[in-house]
Amino acid sequence: METNRRITRSDYQKIPSIFNRIIKGNEGGGTMQSGVCLRVLLLAAFTVTITAQKPAPEVFTLTVPNGPILTRLNASVTLPCELSPLFNVEPLEVRWYRSENSNSPALLYKDHKIQEAPVDPRYRGRVSLTGGLERGNVSLTLERVTLEDRGEYVCHVSNERWYEKANVYLSMNVTGSAPVLSVASGGGGQVNVTCSSEGWSPQPKLTWRNKEGTEIKNEQVLFTSDSQGLLSVSSWLLYSPSDSDWLSCTISLSEEEKRESRVLPHKPGAWKEAFIVTLVLSLLLLCALSTVVCILLKHRDQIKLEQSKSETKKLFKVTENSQEKQPVKDGINLQDWRQVKGFQENITMNEKTAHSAIRVTQEGKTAQYINENMKSSDRRHPHVLANQSFESEQHYWEVKVRDETFAKAVGDCRKLSWYVGVARDNADRTSTVPVTAHYGFWILSYEEGKGFHVNTDPLTSEPVREDLSVVGVFLDCDKHSLSFYNVDTESHIYTFCNLVTSYSFCPVFSPGQHDLHPITILNEN
């Protein structure tokens, strides 16, 4: 029977021992038997040689998988590629390359060896041919897979008469961060629950469920991509909860690769009711204790009473002195403007980030809307970012949004619109994208006739006096909060909570686009 096996080194090593046995047979007188053995041996060697050296076919094809090859970050993966019909491809040239970069292959096999150049340096030391060239298998093995390795590869095999190529797609599963859930008032007894997560590949599935495990259908899902091609996913849901209901948000690639978080969304205003009840009970308890103390004090000697009062006054003075020496950062009361003012920064505007209709002057301290400067090609929102950005600690700055001196000079005291706050440093500033917290903006805004609003979803109106002239902004990166203050009255306006992101925050300023009144960053005191 004909065989396609190659003659190996071990086959050649057996030939001397066979000849020795034939010679010994001759010495023993078995001439005829030895002659027969010699003829059989020569015939077998000739037959094996002829069949093993069968020439390669003039035409061949490549067989690769129909779908993508799935792998994980930092793992090893094999991209299959096999010739049909099967034959020894060691004399041929094998080239693996990315579909967009054929001149710099990931691996080049030529002249019976893997070539050092020209190859893509990103793959050096990480690729090999492991299928067995002598069996017609030219599969590529890739070690320590990175995010950049995802994509389409080309298996290219050629000789002097023919070539063939086929595409293999490498896909990678990357599990992102645990979902972050936040709750805000949605109006009408409902709450607006938001779920967000970062760092997924490929596109994951987001699922809402109630405490019974029933899926809640929701089409409000948004995907965005970062510079590495990893996806961020977010979704929001209007929900009418009871005191015992909880919601879960699950983001998954498969049953084995998923992340889940849960939240108990209380009805809006429930915390206020609990606070009022607690306050009333505390006052009643305090009154009862005060009555008991008064009765006991009546039975004491007047001298001892005076001594007790004196000692109490000294104790209060010691307590007050120790509290005055305590640093502000140890406990920040967001309602106390005087505390947060201690973190004031020297903020300036970055003129390069300004909309074409906004003029930045006074060394980056003032922004003014100039209509004739607007370029029709500028599709950004009418604001400007600061030169500074923050990702840790506490920071405070003040913005003058109403300038009476300027108003008297131009004969118009009305400031029609403005907004101030912070933006995520990678936020999309195109005018088609809403300036909302969902898209990386947290702001306090004013528009004549509509009043003051913070950009929650839906908008939250704030009862602020119309003559507000200076806004204080306090960003606490460590506690993920942003607060606004009326500096004129030294009072708190509103606080955003749960500003959770892996990016930095950058102050944002808009003088509006309806009047010439400027807004100005006030210098640090």
Pair 105, 196 in one domain: no
Same-domain pairing of 145 and 187: no
pLDDT at 525: 64
Q: Which pLDDT score, from 0 to 100, does residue 18 have? A: 56
In a domain, 164, yes or no: yes
Confirm whether 6 is domain-assigned. Answer: no
Predicted local distance difference test score (pLDDT) of residue 34? 47
Q: What gap in Å lies between CA 347 and CA 425, rounded to an integer?
A: 16
Q: Is residue 27 situated within a structural domain?
A: no
| CATH code, domain with 257 | 2.60.40.10
Mean pLDDT, contiguous 10-residue spans, the chain (525 residues): 43 55 51 47 44 67 93 92 93 93 91 89 92 93 92 94 94 91 81 91 91 85 89 89 77 91 71 70 87 77 52 39 38 81 92 90 91 71 92 94 80 82 89 85 91 86 85 93 92 88 89 87 82
Name the maximum alpha-carbon separation found in the chain.
144
Co-location of 142 and 249 in the same domain: no
Q: What is the pLDDT of residues 172-231, one digit of tens each?
A: 888 899 999 988 887 777 888 899 999 998 899 999 998 888 898 887 899 999 888 889
- pLDDT (0 to 100) of residue 55: 67
Q: CA 325 to CA 153: how far, in whole Å?
A: 67
Give residue for tokens 């004549």.
448
Query: Is the domain of 386 the same as that of 518?
Result: yes
Q: According to the model, what pLDDT value does residue 518 have?
A: 92
| pLDDT per residue as tens digits for the range 109-143 | 999 999 988 889 999 999 999 889 999 999 999 99
Residues 94 and 192 in one domain: no
Residue 292, pLDDT score: 84
Question: Does residue 144 come out as left (phi exceeding 0), alpha (psi in the -120 to 50 range) or beta?
Answer: left
Whole-angstrom Cα distance, residue 149 to residue 73? 10
Cα torsion for 480, 481, 482, 484, to the nearest 10°? -170
The total domain count for the chain is 3
The residues with which 172 forms a beta bridge, in sequence order, are 71
User: Is the same domain home to 360 and 505?
Assistant: yes
Rounded Cα distance, 422 and 492, in Å:
17
Q: How far is CA 15 from CA 11, 37, 328, 437, in A?
A: 7, 12, 93, 82
Query: Where in the sequence is the domain holding 122, given as residue range(s)?
Result: 61-172
* Residues 214 and 160 placed together within one structural domain of the fold: no
Q: How far apart are CA 457 and CA 445, in angstroms?
A: 14
Please indicate, yes or no, whether residues 214 and 349 belong to a single structural domain of this protein. Answer: no
505 and 428 in a single domain? The answer is yes
Residues 19-50 have pLDDT tens digits of 556 555 544 444 444 454 445 444 444 444 43
Q: Is the same domain home to 195 and 77?
A: no
Residues 163 and 196 in one domain: no
- So what's the pLDDT on residue 50? 39
Alpha-carbon distance of 399 to 474, in angstroms, equals 12
Note if the pTM is more than 0.85.
Answer: no
